[in-house]
Amino acid sequence: MGKKYRKINVYEATQERLEFIFAHFERVIVSFSGGKDSGVMLNLVLDYLKKHKIKKKIILLFIDLEAQYTYTIQYIQRMIAANREYLEVHWCCLPLNLRNATSVFDPFWTCWDSENTDKWVREYPKQGSPKKDFYVWTAANHPFDFFVPKMEFEEFTAEFLKYCGRDGKMTACLVGIRADESFNRFRTIASRTKRTLYGKQYTTQVGKDTHIYNVYPIYDWTTEDVWIGNYRFKWDYNELYDLFYRAGVPLSMMRICQPYGDDQKNGLNLFRIIEPKTWIGVVNRVSGANFGNIYCKDKIVGYYDVKLPSGHTWKSYTKMLLSTLPRGLREHYTERFIKFIRYWHKKGCYISEEGRKLEGVKSKNRLNSRGKELFVFTKILDCAPKKIEAAKEALTWKRMAVCIIKNDVLCRGLSFGQTKEQRYKVAKIMEKYQKL
């Protein structure tokens, strides 16, 4: 599904979506991270409530991942304090399982875990005396019967929506994703297989619950639109972005979520520059954090600029890398690599004209569900041209080696998705071998 442009601007289009949301949903939840996108979305919603004199409160969900900038926490506190009459706040400080891309031995970490309270980057936020419609939930006081320690972030969010919607009321969770951020986010909006509400592509039904939906009211905003909106409407925003800008970080690369993820680790050094005190806690919190800070931009953990050591082929280098890993992790990668090889040998995929010229490429004389021709590889290549490797259109040893070098435990670089079963399996493997 391609993009269709309208004669109105994104602000006007968002007003139409908000009108639809408040006309069709009895309960509105705003997922707020303190970032620029969810911040603009929250400001839009609050302005709409005030303009139309809507007195019913919206639910503000903030999942606090512990390793947060002080600027982010201060911004969230300001937004809550300035709009208390419109908000029912759920500030969740719960032990959730998160990605740690800075360590081979600890590929996941748990925020707010009771076993490491001495290493916490921050303490729980101070709420003072209990306040109506302002809840700080921890492992000790939360009311969620679905919660299991070390749940995944996405899993908790989905279950929270179901928890709120148990009474059967039409429930919308507003999420501030934008289609131009990534192809996956574009697909979330454009998918023709998902269930929507009245055909609105910016809505997605959550599971089988026909009364619970994720809604994306700013999906067509660009990064520039976000900052134009902040300026034009004098909205409050996270001033951390000003410091990012002064530090020379491109607009498209500014990230404020947990710092140890696959993409976010590239900004670890910014903690050291912007908040030195927070940086000490960030480095001490998880294995490999300082290594990630030092080498995240180096070729040792780069991608297509990885240099092959002299005397090696990519095949021999991959096998050498596998031999250096703990047994459980080595077996995990080997299993993924075997599936990757079998996929390209038997099932195949559509590849570009340039990719079809590679050695060992053969047509299956079949079409995929989109009517495109499928191709398989009859052999594993050592490597392929950079453009083809980047498009993930080749069966090569280099792609497998890069997975290990990047600590890509889930093998996203080989086009594997992240399943719940896979997350738990990897976590169990690492837990076992950490104790040896």
Residue 136: beta bridge partners? Answer: 91
Span 389-410, average pLDDT: 88
Residue-level pLDDT at 302? 46
Instruction: Give the Cα separation of 156 and 154 in Å (integer).
Output: 5
Is the distance from CB of 377 to CB of 395 less than 8 angstroms? yes
Q: In this structure, are strands 96-99 and 87-92 parallel, antiparallel, or unpaired?
A: unpaired
> Which residues are within 8 A (CB) of 104 and not within 5 positions of it... i.e. 6 or more apart?
288, 325, 329, 407
Percent with pLDDT over 70 in the chain:
83
Checking if the pLDDT of 265 tops 60, the result is: no
Higher per-residue pLDDT: 153 or 23: 23
Residue 420's CB is within 10 A of a number of other CB atoms, namely: 11
Burial 161-186 (b: 16+ CB within 10 A, else e): beebbeeeebbbbbbbbbbbeeeebb
Q: Where is mean pLDDT largest: 84-98, 126-140, 198-212, 240-254?
A: 84-98
- The residues spanned by each domain of the chain are 10-224, 314-434
**pLDDT tens, 193-248?**
899 999 999 999 998 878 999 999 999 999 999 999 999 999 999 999 998 888 78
The domain made up of 10-224 is a member of CATH 3.40.50 = yes
Span 75-98, average pLDDT: 94
Q: Which of 194, 236, 239, 232 is nearest to 215 (CA)?
A: 194
User: What integer best gives the mean pLDDT of the chain?
Assistant: 84
Residue-level pLDDT at 299? 43
**Helical packing angle, 327-342 and 397-405, nearest 10°:** 150
Checking if the pLDDT of 289 tops 50, the result is: no
**pLDDT tens, 352-383?**
999 999 999 999 988 887 778 999 999 999 99
Residues in the chain: 436
Burial 92-111 (b: 16+ CB within 10 A, else e): bbbbbbbbbbbbbebbbbbb
Is the distance from CB of 247 to CB of 33 less than 8 angstroms? no
Residue 393's CB is within 10 A of a number of other CB atoms, namely: 22
Query: 268 falls in which pLDDT band (50, 70, 90)?
Result: low
Checking if the pLDDT of 121 tops 60, the result is: yes
Span 272-287, average pLDDT: 70
Span 311-339, average pLDDT: 90
What distance, in Å, lies between the first and last C-alpha atoms of the chain?
51
Query: 75 falls in which pLDDT band (50, 70, 90)?
Result: very high
Percent with pLDDT over 90 in the chain:
53
Checking if the pLDDT of 112 tops 90, the result is: yes
